């Protein structure tokens, strides 16, 4: 690390229009683009790239190899009626890509923190509020908004325009569909329909497979899913069965997630069988009238 007061060896990587406080600690091979502002006490790890107009506020630290897009603001004060000075901190890990015009706020209380783990992708216009915790290998798509104290676990996928209420949690490898309004916890491994009030529509099978889970592990998750959503059990019975039958393996995360929840959980969407239309293509040798008749079935 180099303090900006003695940055001779790295001056070529800092654009002359950037404003960098002399107390900031800048790692090796860091690139700071035009019109960036780096405030006092900031720590920027080795290999980070800040494109133009990035603002990194005091009490913010970045690990190694982070890429920060144009216009992003990191470490701003919490958006809260009551202002605490100086407020908490923002800690960002390694190998994150935070794209243009994203905003990530530091913790609200003076001893609080917002944390972003490693290998995350936050797309254009994402907002992460104070006291949030984002794990590792997550993807948060354009204009998604995380309110204060939200927790996003490893490898979760949050689609574009999703709004997550304060104190909610999104479990590991869950996928939330676009424009969903999340006001309760999203369990691990599930797929949530977007477009308004969220509903669970099954397991996130594509994400689970892409992350290397075996057929046996997938079967375990399916079995646990049926216990939670399909058997009509009391909640105490669900927790008892999850703890008893899935002490190890991926489904063990279900019990751990549920026993620590406080906001309730997104429910499954169930459609009555009577309302289901079973459409099938007619055999090739049927005449046109038969085809029309079957098509309306």
Return all residues near 162 (Cβ < 8 A) that are at least 6 apart.
141, 144, 145, 176, 177, 178, 179, 180, 181, 182, 194
Query: Of the listed 105, 127, 130, 255, which one is catalytic?
Result: 130
Catalytic-residue membership of 46: no
Catalytic residue among 63, 125, 131, 161: 131
Contact 207, 155 (CB under 8 A): yes
The contacts of residue 216 (CB under 8 Å, 6+ apart) are none
| 130 classed as catalytic | yes
The answer to whether 216 is a known catalytic residue is no
Cα–Cα dist 243/171, whole Å? 17
Catalytic-labelled residue, pool 27, 148, 161, 171: 148
H/E/C letters for each residue in the chain?
CEEHHHCHHHHHHECCCCEECCCCEECCCCEECCCCEECCCCEECCCCEECCCCEECCCEEECCCCEECCCCEEEECCCCCCCCCCCCEEEECCCCEECCCCEEECCCCCCCEEEECCCCEECCCCEECCCCEECCCCEECCCCEECCCCEECCCCEECCCCEECCCCEECCCCEECCCCEECCEECCCEEEECCCCCEEEEECHHHHHHCCCCHHHHHHHHHHHHHHHCCCCCHHHHHHHHHHHCCCCCCHHHHHHHCCCCCCECCECCCCHHHCCCCCCCCCCCCHHHHHHHHCC
For tokens 């293509």, the residue is 281
**Which residues are designated catalytic?**
130-131, 148
């Amino acid at each position: 690390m180099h303090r900006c007061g003695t940055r001779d060896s790295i001056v070529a990587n800092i654009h002359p229009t950037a404003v960098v406080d002399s107390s900031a600690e800048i790692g090796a091979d860091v690139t700071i683009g035009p019109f960036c502002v780096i405030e006092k006490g900031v720590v920027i790890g080795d290999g980070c790239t800040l494109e133009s107009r990035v603002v990194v506020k005091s009490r913010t630290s970045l690990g190694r190899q982070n890429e920060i897009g144009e216009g992003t603001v990191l470490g701003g004060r919490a958006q809260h009626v009551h202002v605490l000075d100086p407020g908490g901190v923002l800690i960002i890990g390694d190998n994150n890509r935070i794209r243009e015009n994203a905003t990530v706020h530091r913790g609200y209380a003076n001893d609080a923190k917002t944390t972003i783990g490693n290998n995350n992708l936050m797309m254009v216009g994402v907002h992460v509020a104070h006291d949030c915790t984002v794990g590792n290998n997550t993807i948060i798509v354009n204009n998604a908004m995380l309110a204060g104290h939200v927790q996003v676990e490893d490898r979760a996928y949050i689609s574009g325009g999703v709004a997550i209420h304060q104190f909610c949690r999104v479990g590991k490898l869950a996928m939330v569909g676009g424009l969903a309004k999340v006001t309760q916890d999203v369990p691990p491994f599930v797929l949530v329909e977007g477009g308004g009030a969220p509903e669970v529509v099954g397991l996130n099978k594509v994400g689970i497979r892409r992350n290397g889970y075996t057929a046996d592990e997938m079967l375990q998750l399916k079995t646990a899913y049926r216990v939670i959503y399909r058997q009509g059990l009391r909640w105490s019975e669900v927790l008892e069965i999850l703890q008893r039958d899935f002490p190890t393996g991926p489904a063990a995360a279900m019990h751990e997630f549920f026993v620590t929840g406080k906001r309730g959980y997104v429910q499954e969407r169930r459609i009555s069988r009577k309302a289901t239309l079973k459409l099938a293509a007619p055999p090739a040798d049927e005449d046109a009238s038969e085809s029309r008749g079957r098509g309306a079935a």
